[in-house]
């Protein structure tokens, strides 16, 4: 199943972890159609899954800033990886599919885009080797993208009354500058490029505030619960729980 139309935003400004997470949530709140955001980090960082305990993990993490995602999964080191988020509003037919199927379909499109740049041998992981609560790129989950013994990509999903959020990382492969465009066209029949200034005017003010009150707040890291608006939802069940 391909999306009919997709807005593509190459977010050209690197951000710290809390703001990256906040921008994704604000896009989900505002989206009327599917969006693909391709973005980067302003410094080497760690993101952990919503259900992970940062205190228990502390001794095992590198000395980078840590942010807790709203999506589930395990530890992801963001140090030269390529990150993207797919956002789909709740009334879209894509949201009617089971989480495991949306996970599979997105990674089928990712493999198509990787093959388009000459990265052969990439395939879907057939079975899960992890519950998605450890280090994501060590233990592949079902339908992650692997090449031989190496994990290339994985993601985490969140369903809520606002729609569908898929946060992902691609590692262990060198990608060209136009890879986001290639992925967008593998995901959708038509793609509209969103200008940086236009999207920033839509989301940045709200996201900056949300980064302060939620994703950058000690209470968000410590208590592992949603702050502010109570948003029902959970990371995808079964295999597709790990981001990257």
- Spell out a b/e string for 7-42, using b for 16 or more CB atoms within 10 Å of the CB, else e: bbbbbeeebbbbbbbbbbbbbbbebeebbbbbbbbe
Domain ranges of the chain: 3-235
Q: What is the pLDDT of residues 8-61, one digit of tens each?
A: 999 999 999 999 999 999 999 999 999 999 999 999 999 999 988 888 898 999
User: What does the alpha-carbon distance between residue 28 and residue 48 come to, in Å, rounded to a whole number?
Assistant: 20
Residue 225 has pLDDT above 80, yes or no: no
Q: What is the pTM of this model?
A: 0.89
CATH of 3-235, one of 3.30.930.10, 2.60.40.180, 1.20.120.550, 3.40.50.2000: 3.30.930.10
């Amino acid at each position: 199943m391909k999306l009919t139309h997709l807005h593509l935003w190459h977010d050209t400004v690197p951000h710290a972890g809390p703001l990256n997470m906040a921008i994704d949530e604000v896009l989900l709140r505002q989206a009327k159609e599917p969006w693909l955001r391709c973005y980067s980090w302003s410094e080497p960082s760690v993101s952990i899954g919503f259900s992970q305990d940062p205190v228990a993990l502390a001794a095992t993490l590198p000395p980078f800033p840590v942010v807790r995602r709203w999506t589930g999964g395990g530890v992801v080191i963001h140090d030269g990886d390529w990150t993207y988020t797919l956002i789909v509003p709740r009334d879209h037919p894509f949201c009617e599919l089971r989480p495991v199927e949306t996970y599979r379909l997105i990674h089928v499109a990712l493999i198509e885009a990787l093959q388009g740049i000459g990265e052969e041998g990439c395939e879907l992981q057939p079975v899960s080797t992890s519950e998605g609560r450890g280090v994501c790129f060590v233990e592949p989950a079902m339908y992650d993208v692997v090449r031989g013994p190496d994990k290339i990509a994985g993601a985490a999903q969140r369903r809520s009354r606002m729609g569908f959020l898929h946060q992902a990382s691609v590692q262990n492969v060198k990608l060209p500058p136009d890879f986001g465009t290639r992925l967008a066209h593998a995901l959708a029949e038509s793609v509209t490029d969103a200008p940086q200034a236009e999207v920033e005017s839509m989301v940045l003010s709200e996201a900056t505030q949300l980064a302060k009150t939620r994703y950058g707040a000690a209470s968000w890291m410590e208590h592992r619960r949603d702050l502010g608006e109570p948003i029902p939802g959970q990371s995808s069940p079964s295999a597709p729980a790990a981001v990257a």
